[in-house]
Structure 1
């Protein structure tokens, strides 16, 4: 089945509300419900395959090694998972408090495969900068709780790892500000120096296990959205000389979340606690509800502590089941250039449903988060030194 969702194209310099725009209610279409059922069947079939091919065992060993590397400085503690909106909200993704440094890694990581599907209604959002640099260490000097974030991508049809694909991730900093974009609802809207910033943005290539790992930050919050990470996957893309991507297609788009109790704990620490904006919870967040209702999807990250406190950092992981037959065209209003981010006319062809916007100063504000539409080729309004793609980028998560 070749799935395409069309979203209305963003308008340049339309309005964006202080709340994250484009998260108004939308109804699930018959195509979307059928798509969820298709992914649910495919993922169920993958469970035994992950065990028989050794994918699960290798994932356990890999995550254990990452944790072992941090044990010189940090102590260990926790991880777990589950499904459907109420179940996900009621499930702790942190391991038991009884785990210690002497606990066997297979016990810690083996209980939490968290293999779910992030469905494509997890729209792109207005803060994606198209053509970002290929790099996995994206923390820069941002203060807060550091996170080692591991994505593993598998083909939902074959259950095999997806090798040499590119994952594009971005999130806000501890006080709810995104780098590379300017406008109301994103820090000081009069400060254009943010356009030259690149913190918490990057693109990474998967290895032979379908894995890419980012050094990033636990995000803060801003008006209208719960704490989350964005991710988009590029398939068959080409690396340009300026270390960005071009070409390829987008099989999926998604967003990832954290346990609500962990969010509250993080928000009590500096500099998160300096943010006076009211917290939107997972339960209140429409995108969280979209990605967890009526599916087997659990888009909440599994995690362990890497030290004695949150400030020492977290290791988080998720398995991403991608439907390679799907194809999307994520909207964007900024592109990366050698001089920093540059605003462009919002790109998304033939759009109708599912990602739309609000008001404010972001290019594309009236359509805001964009989302996805049928790819039709590289946009003509993007500078030639910017990495863009025929279908730009896309992702599927678990």
Structure 2
């Protein structure tokens, strides 16, 4: 699917729900419909701008270079027509002689989510770094995520993008508590794996070296992202100040998840899997829309164990401001628990007819 086709269709409806069993916060349907209609109009106008500015051509070249650097030998590419269809993967084998424009031209993913799911596992104040694997085992992943301004269709330079995900066995670093591995093991507070922040370049792009996430009870495989606008870099390599115009989650094809989960150490996880089709956050971010918050990807070798390159385009409304909830803050001695920030709130621009609101009394989807 070409970029022009994708942008004329893709949008991500606002969602604000708790993924904890038995707790839900849903926006009024008329507000959602108004917001989605506004975003659809905005994104459809960006297609020609992306081509004329060369943003699309540079993205193709960048993705091809990344794949080459990771010794791509055989490729399998996804093309999603319906993100709620768990069998939607359409794959084909490519050789190194295949034209790179055929392989890398599709953005596939197009996301605009003014207030998504932060969850209780975000740690505020993480380090600025793009290689976040540390000593963790699993399928290596290079993420190439591009951020564009939905109002101007221009790449957003200088955004600090915060990402975090669980490890291969479903555990997050830097947080302790029920639902995150052994809640009695406080040594996890000293860990920082699979967490980091990187700054977008002139094309609005950040890249992370990370791992394919595992799974835990009640959630499908996913990555979290938060965008920080006008933040200040401190001497200790952390951020302060600024605003948050975007909170969201990105996903993978179910067939790819199943393939990865069959490999070690993912296969050692005895917790029952939740599929994309069963995941409420996935459903809320795609139902009633033509949104596709699923990474495009290529294999970097002959099997998933050799690694993946995944890419996505995220459209943000820079006039929106949100406050992500957190219960832990990164310090020089590890994460420390804090209180008084159990709710996420924010406001969206009035021109977008986007609903505003808070998370209520509990944390969001994790």
Could you say which TM-score interval applies, normalised by the shorter chain?
0.7 to 0.9
In structure 2, C-alpha distance between the alignment counterparts of 1:106 and 1:308, rounded to whole Å: 21
Q: Secondary structure at the match of 1:328?
A: strand
Verify the 8 A CA contact 1:332 1:370 in the aligned structure 2: no
Answer yes or no: is 1:42 the counterpart of 2:39: no
The verdict on how the C-alpha distance between 1:268 and 1:349 changes in structure 2, with shifts beyond 3 A counting, is closer
Per-residue CA shift, 1:73-114, capped at 9, x if unaligned? x42312234466536x4532x6x323112212111112x212
| Counterpart among 279, 288, 291 of residue 273 in structure 2 | 279
How many residues are paired up? 342
Q: Which moved more, 1:255-264 or 1:346-355?
A: 346-355
Residues 185 and 68 (structure 1), Cα distance of their counterparts in 2 relative to 1, 3 Å cut: same
Are 1:70 and 2:70 matched, yes or no? yes
1:318 corresponds in structure 2 to 312
Q: 1:6 to 1:285 in 2, by over 3 A?
A: closer
Instruction: Structure 2 unaligned segments of length 5 or more: list them.
Output: 1-13, 346-355
- Asked if the contact 2:163/2:226 (under 8 Å) is kept, the reply is yes
1:28, distance to aligned residue in structure 2 (A): 3.0
List per-residue Cα deviations over 1:102-152 (Å, max 9, x = no partner): 212111112x21242242453101000001000000011110100001110
The aligned counterpart of 2:236 is: 242
Q: TM-score, normalised by structure 2?
A: 0.87
**Among 334, 343, 347, the residue aligned to 2:341:** 347
Q: Which residue of 1 aligns with 2:98?
A: 103
8 A Cα contact 1:121 1:287, kept in partner = no
Q: Deviations over 1:166-212 (max 9, x none)?
A: 00000000000000000111111111110000000000000011000
Matches within 5 A, 1:1-398: 21=20, 24-29=23-28, 30-71=30-71, 74-82=72-80, 85-86=83-84, 89-92=86-89, 96-110=91-105, 112-347=106-341, 355=359, 367-369=362-364
8 Å Cα contact 2:15/2:284 also seen in 1:
no
Residue of structure 2 equivalent to 1:360 = none
The whole-number CA distance in structure 2 between the counterparts of 1:160 and 1:228 is 27
Query: How far apart, CA to CA, are the structure 1 residues paired with 2:230 and 2:159?
Result: 7
| Aligned-partner Cα distance in 1 for 2:190–2:109 | 36
**Alpha-carbon distance, 1:22 to partner:** 6.6
Please give the alpha-carbon distance, in whole angstroms, between the structure 2 residues aligned to 1:338 and 1:347.
21
User: Given the two structures, how large is their TM-score scaled by the length of structure 1?
Assistant: 0.81
For the residue of structure 2 that corresponds to 1:61, the secondary structure is: helix
Higher relative contact order (CA 8 A, sep 6+): 1
SS at match of 1:147: strand
1:23 and 1:354 mapped to 2: Cα distance?
18
30-39 vs 52-61, which deviates more?
A: 30-39
How many angstroms does 1:49 deviate by? 1.3
- Name stretches of at least 5 consecutive residues in structure 1 with no aligned partner: 9-18, 357-365, 372-398
Contact 1:117-1:296 within 8 A present in 2 as well? no
Q: Which has the higher strand share?
A: 2
CA contact (8 A) 2:176 2:185 kept: yes
8 Å contact 2:16–2:115 — kept in the other structure?
no
Query: Hey, what does 1:376 align to over in structure 2?
Result: none
Cα 1:22–1:165 shift into 2, 3 Å: farther
Measured after TM superposition, the shift of residue 301 of structure 1 is 0.4
CA pair 24-321 structure 1, distance change in 2 beyond 3 A: same
RMSD: 2.4
SS of the equivalent of 1:36 reads: helix
